[in-house]
């Protein structure tokens, strides 16, 4: 495994995972570490690096592939699985980048306590937005979910949890 950050990626910032087979509910950080420990117990090797290229010999595609990292390190493997992970999506609205950490956050688990007894807004209608909104109700006095659409993209379990929470108000057809 070649990882540019901590093993687990976005799972580390997820308060609760409730849609993983065999697990009723647990923190994302625990699931991430369990997966990491499980994979390394079977011989997987963990390396830090930022992969910039994967090369395959066109004349002999069954030969080892070369995985090239930003620092020049080259790894060879008979097979390569590319798992790009996920990052927060910037909304590209005025003042966004200047206000990160000044009331604008992309991680409720990391920053939720800073918003204790305040009204906050979460933008989006997918799983991440709804899960973060529900988590924020542990701190905030009120959580508004701002959605551009009228239909959720989230799983039913996330939608039901958000709708059932008395601290959450869902506003649809809103463009921030």
Domain boundary among 77, 107, 125: 77
Catalytic residue list: 107, 110-111
User: Is 110 part of a structural domain of the chain?
Assistant: yes
What is residue 138's predicted lDDT score, i.e. its pLDDT?
A: 96
CA dist 16 and 161 (Å) reads: 12
Number of domains composing the chain: 2
CA dist 148 and 176 (Å) reads: 8
Statement: the pTM of the whole predicted model exceeds 0.75: no
> Which parts of the chain have pLDDT scores under 70?
none
Residue 13 belongs to what domain range?
2-77
pLDDT digits (tens, 9 = 90+) for 30-64: 999 999 999 999 999 999 999 999 999 999 988 99
Q: Which residues contact 157 (CB under 8 A, 6 or more apart)?
A: 18, 19
Domain boundary among 32, 47, 77: 77
């Amino acid at each position: 495994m070649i990882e540019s950050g901590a093993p687990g990626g976005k799972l580390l910032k997820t308060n609760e995972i409730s849609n993983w087979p065999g697990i009723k509910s647990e923190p994302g950080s625990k699931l991430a570490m369990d997966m990491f420990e499980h994979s390394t117990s079977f011989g997987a090797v963990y390396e830090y690096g930022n992969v910039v290229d994967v090369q395959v010999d066109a004349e002999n595609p069954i030969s080892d592939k070369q995985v090239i990292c930003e620092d020049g390190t080259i790894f060879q493997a008979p097979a390569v699985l590319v798992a790009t992970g996920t990052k927060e999506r910037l909304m590209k609205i005025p003042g966004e980048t200047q206000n990160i950490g000044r009331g604008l956050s992309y991680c409720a688990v990391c920053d939720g306590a800073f918003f204790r007894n305040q009204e906050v807004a979460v933008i989006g209608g997918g799983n991440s937005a709804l899960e973060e909104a529900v988590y924020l109700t542990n701190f905030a006095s009120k959580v508004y979910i701002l959605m551009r659409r009228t239909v959720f993209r989230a799983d039913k379990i996330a939608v039901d949890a958000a709708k059932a929470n008395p601290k959450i108000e869902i506003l649809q057809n809103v463009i921030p």
